[in-house]
Structure 1
Amino acid sequence: MPKNQIPVLKEDRPKMKSGRKIIFILMLLFLALLIVLFFRSPVSKVSEIHFTGNTFNTEEQLKEKAGLAIGVQYFSVDAENVKKNLASLGTIETVEVDKQFPGVVNVNVVEFPTVAYELANNGSLQAILANGKSIPVSASGIAVEKPILTQWDPKDPNKAKLSKVLADIPNSMTSDISEILPSPTPSFPDRIKLYTRSKFEVITAVSLLRDKVEYLNQVIEMEQPGIITMLEADSYEPFKPEKLEQGAEEPPTQE
């Protein structure tokens, strides 16, 4: 090869980086436009809200408390926030939120069961829930087999404990109890007095009722009306027969 021969220069290839960058930017702009159009369209908004399992609150009340409304952004509905907001009502035990795209939100609530009733200061009937909360009785009516709580202080902690105990006992074992009153003593601060529809008077304690209720039902089934004591020891004493029936006229005296 001659010493003075000049090497052949390589031909520069056209660079594609600038073109790819422009395409990428255009794609981003197109994607952003699609997102803007989507969130402005009815498809991205809540179009249906359904509640099931509610009896203590109307759907409108639940919607307001949950922060749900027709037309809000579907993807902004947070299931955990809905659950937290509804739980603050005090009547709802569990909440399930099922979102179905596009636009449908289904909310199933499980309310605390009603365990008893009481008369409020204004004379209205209140339902006592398993968590101890009192709420006005709905138009659906009352369950006649539930007891009535009378003379209870709303701030008495034993009232809430009693509500939880009643919720744990099957209805079949408490259906004969008509009334429950507080009757505390120094030895038993949670002592209560019960009256049954079968004319028994029962003395026990909130902390003992769950374990003693079976004995209560056995006595009611086998014995005549009387006083049943279910504290440290169980006992039964029949009522003394009255000399005259209530309402009967006394016999005339002979002169």
Structure 2
Amino acid sequence: MVDEHVPPFRNRVGKKRSPSPWIFAFIFLFFTGALFAIFLRSPLSKIKKIEVTGNQLVPAEEILARTQLKKGVSFFGVQSEEVIERLSALPEIEQVRVKKTFPDKISISIREKEHAAWFETKEQKRFPILSDGTILSHRLLSSQQNQIAFTDWKCSDPLLKSAVREIAKLPDSIKRTIRKVKPVSDHRDQVEIWTDRYHRIFVRVEDLSQKMSYYPSFFNHPRGTLFLLESIWFIPETSKRAS
């Protein structure tokens, strides 16, 4: 009678439950995370090359100092948006692009605002002027560049910015001939322009970009003075001496 209440023995050999797939996933993630942590601490994750292109006014050393980038810094610690924000704050820079190339290269592409001319002080110090008329008084030019010089001006003169903006509108074929732009003391609305063709031109600032379009027709004229005012006339240097 006792045997009837004892359940029969069931042979479970060969029916073991297979390990859960979550265990393998956990093991995989654990070792992947460990390897990644080791990689972050190794020299393999450090920046080895930093490339800066497109800059002319702003030295590469200043760009790197402002972005706090240098070789040996963690590649993954560099935030492109932060680099762009820091560099865009510079008045010379119009656009910044940052490219991270795994595992160790950072490329910074700079597009600066147009450098239209340079401003010369009484002490003959030269500073760049952007096409919007902004004088970069913190950017001393070490050598004279083949660009238009604004001389005898005061930095605060509102006519200066207007003149720069008008000059920036000119085609390159005309801008390349201009060497110097000066204010006219007895006619505050006018400027005196000197060219590499030994011509002196008087024109009102508000008409500058329009009236200077006539200048190419005087390219082959001898030395002299050209008036681009209500009427247009030219006085050769010899005629001036004769008078």
Output the TM-score relative to the length of structure 1. Answer: 0.71
Question: Corresponding residue for 2:77?
Answer: 76
Question: Cα–Cα, structure 1 residues 105 and 160, in superposed 2: closer, same or farther, change >3 Å?
Answer: farther
CA distance in 1, matches of 2:199, 2:129: 23
Q: What whole-Å deviation, never above 9, does each CA across 1:131-160 have from its counterpart, x for those lacking one? A: 43333114xx4333x222123232344433
CA contact (8 A) 2:121 2:152 kept: no
- Structure 1 66/168 Cα, relative in aligned 2: closer, same or farther at 3 Å? farther
Partner of 1:91: 92
Pair 1:19–1:177, CA change in 2 (3 A): closer
CA contact (8 A) 1:193 1:202 kept: yes
Where 1:242 maps in the other structure, the secondary structure is helix
What is the aligned partner in structure 1 of residue 208 from structure 2?
A: 209
Please point out which of 141, 144, 147 is paired with 1:142: 144
Query: 1:106-121 to 2 correspondence within 5 Å?
Result: 106-121=107-122
CA distance in 1, matches of 2:205, 2:158: 11
- Structure 1 Cα separation of the partners of residues 217 and 74 of structure 2: 59
Q: Secondary structure at the match of 2:155?
A: coil
- Mapped partners of 2:234, 2:173: distance in 1: 24
**Aligned-residue identity in percent:** 23
Which whole-Å CA distance do the structure 1 matches of 2:88 and 2:231 have between them? 40
Task: Give secondary structure in 2 for the equivalent of 1:241.
Answer: helix
Q: In the alignment, is residue 171 of structure 1 matched against residue 177 of structure 2?
A: no
1:83·1:95 contact (CA, 8 Å) conserved in 2? yes
Match of 2:82, as an amino acid?
Answer: N
Report the equivalent of 2:232: 235
Gap change, CA 1:160 and 1:100, over 3 Å in 2: farther
Report the more deviating stretch, 192-201 or 66-75: 192-201
Give the ranges of 4+ consecutive aligned residues of structure 1 lying more than 6 Å apart after TM superposition: 11-16
Q: CA deviation at 1:63?
A: 0.5
* Local SS of the residue matching 2:58: coil
Cα offset, 1:112, TM superposition: 3.2
1:104, CA displacement in angstroms? 0.8
Question: Is the 1:147–1:177 contact (alpha carbons within 8 Å) kept by the matching residues of 2?
Answer: yes
Q: Which residue of 2 aligns with 1:247?
A: none
Deviation at 1:46, TM superposition (A): 1.2
| CA distance 1:130–1:80, shift in 2 (3 Å) | farther
* Secondary structure, counterpart of 1:209 in structure 2: helix
Q: CA deviation at 1:121?
A: 4.9
- Deviation string 1:60-89 (CA, Å, 9 cap, x unpaired) is 211012232112222332333323322322
Matched length: 228
1:184 Cα shift?
Answer: 8.6
Distance, in Å, in 2 between the alignment partners of 1:207 and 1:241 is 27
1:196 aligns to what?
195
| Contact 1:180-1:195 within 8 A present in 2 as well | yes
Counterpart-to-counterpart distance in 1, 2:212 and 2:84: 35
Does structure 2 retain, via aligned residues, the 8 Å contact 1:147–1:179?
A: yes
Equivalent residue, structure 2, for 1:133: 135
Query: Residue 59 of structure 2 aligns to which amino acid in structure 1?
Result: T
Query: Are the equivalent residues in 1 in contact too, given 2:47–2:73 (CA < 8 A)?
Result: yes
- Which residue does the alignment assign to 2:3? none
Partner of residue 5, structure 1: none
Shift of 1:103: 0.6
Q: Is the 8 A contact 2:212 2:228 kept in 1?
A: no
The 10-residue stretch of structure 1 (44-53 or 204-213) with the greater mean CA deviation from structure 2: 204-213
Structure 2 portions without partners, runs of 5+ = 1-10
Unmatched runs of 5 consecutive residues or more in structure 1: 1-10, 245-255
Aligned partners of 1:184 and 1:190 also within 8 Å: no
- After TM superposition, the score normalised by the length of structure 2 is 0.74
Deviation at 1:237, TM superposition (A): 4.3
Distance 2:179 2:89 in 1: 31
